[in-house]
Amino acid sequence: MAWTDKQNQTMPAEFILTGITDRPELQAPFFVLFLTIYVVSAVGNLGMIVLTKVDSKLQTPMYFFLRNLAFIDLGYSTSVGPKALVNFVADQNTISYHWCATQLTFFILFMISELFILSAMAYDRYVAICNPLLYTVVMSPRVCWVLVAVPYVYSASVSLITTIKIFLSSFCGHNIISHFYCDSLPLLTLLCSDTWEIELFILVCSVFNLVSSLLIVLVSYILILKAILKMNTAQGRQKAFSTCGSHLAVVVVLYATLAFMYMQPKASHSFDTDKMASVFFTLVIPMLNPIIYSLRNKEVKGALHRVWKNLCKIPI
C-alpha cells in the first residue's frame, strides 16, 4: 500500500473496512436486505421532503421540522449506505483517505443535527399543546429557521473540528478500520500520536449533545404531560398524546442507541457490538422515521391523496 510523508505525518492512501460480517455466505443476503432498507429510506425521506414542500396544507412549523428531519435522515443514511452496499460485492472493502474524511464529516454533521432537530420538534409540540392560541406567533417562520440553522452551524463546526483533528494526526501504518464505515472511535485506534485531546473533545461534545438535547425533550414533555392531564375531555387528551407518542418513541430509541455506543466505558467497548447498533441508527431509523412521524398522519395521507389525484388529471 502506498504511503506518503508530509510535514512529518504518516498518511495512508486508503483504509480497509472490515465490514459487517466476514462470512461470505452472508454477503448476498445482507446486500439484498440493506439495499431494500436503503431504497425504502431514500424514497420515503425524499418523498416527505417533496410532499411537505409542494402541498399547501402542510406549510406549518411541524412539517417544516419534519422536512428537515427527512433531509437529515436522507443525508446520513446516504453518507453510509451506498458505500456499505458496494463493499458487500467488492473483493476488498477499501475506502480512500479523502473519502473516509468526507464520510466522517457528513456523518457527524447529520447525526448531531438529528438530535437537535428532534429537540426543536419537541419544543414545537410543547408550544402547540400548551400555548395553542400563541402557536403561530411563537413559532414564526423566523423562529423556525433559527431553530434549524443553529443546529446545522453547530454540527458542522463540531464535525469539521473532529475530522481535522483526527486526519491531521499521525497514523501508525495500520489501515484496517473495524467498522463498515469511517467512524471516529475506530479511527482513533489507528493513530500513533497522543489521542487524549481528541478523545476528550469527542467525549465533551457527546455528553453536551446528548444531555442538552435530551433535556430539552424531557422538559418539553413534562410540561406537555401537565397540560394534557389538565384537559377536561378524553378526546382532547387522546389527540394530544397521538401527536407526541411516535416522536417520543423514536427519541428514546435513538438516544439509547447513541448512549450505548458512545458513553460506554473504554474497557468494555466492543466494535462488533457497535456495528449492530450502527446499522440500526444509520439505516433502520432513517427508514422508520417517515413512517412513524408522517405516513401514519392523516394530514400527510390527505396530501398524498391530493397529489395522486392531480397526477391522474395530467393528460398523457
Extended strands (E) in 170-240: 176-177
The pLDDT value recorded for residue 36 is 93
Lowest mean pLDDT among 23-27, 48-52, 117-121, 186-190: 23-27
Residue 300: CB partners within 8 Å, gap ≥ 6? Answer: 48, 51, 58, 294
**Could you tell me which residues come within 8 angstroms of residue 115 by beta carbon, excluding any fewer than 6 positions away?**
151, 209, 210, 213, 254, 255, 258
Residue 6 pLDDT: 42
Note the pLDDT tens digit of each residue in 151-191. Answer: 999 999 999 999 999 998 888 877 888 888 898 888 988 88
Q: How far apart are the C-alpha atoms of 285 and 288, rounded to whole Å?
A: 5
| Angle value at C-alpha 203, between 197 and 208, nearest 5 degrees | 125
Residue owning grid cell 501504518? 173
199-218: per-residue pLDDT in tens? Answer: 999 989 988 998 899 899 99
How many CB atoms neighbour CB 195 within 10 A?
17
Count of CB atoms situated within 10 Å of the CB of 73: 27
- Domains (ranges, CATH) in the chain? 14-296 (1.20.1070.10)
pLDDT in tens, 92-147: 788 888 999 999 999 999 999 999 999 999 999 999 888 888 998 999 999 999 99
pLDDT band at 7 (very low <50, low <70, confident <90, very high): very low
3-state secondary structure of 8: coil
**For residues 178 and 18, is the Cβ–Cβ distance under 8 A?**
yes
Task: Note the pLDDT tens digit of each residue in 241-299.
Answer: 777 776 787 787 787 777 776 666 555 556 566 677 788 878 888 888 888 776 566 77
3-class state of residue 3 by DSSP: strand
Nearest to 183 by CA among 95, 242, 285, 117: 95
Cβ-contact 97, 11 below 8 angstroms: yes
> Measured between alpha carbons, how far is residue 143 from residues 99, 140, 221 in Å?
35, 5, 20
Cα–Cα distance, 16 to 176 (Å, whole number)? 5
Give the DSSP letter of residue 93: -
Residue recorded with cell 429537540: 119
Q: How far apart (Å, rounded) are the C-alpha atoms in residues 249 and 247? A: 6
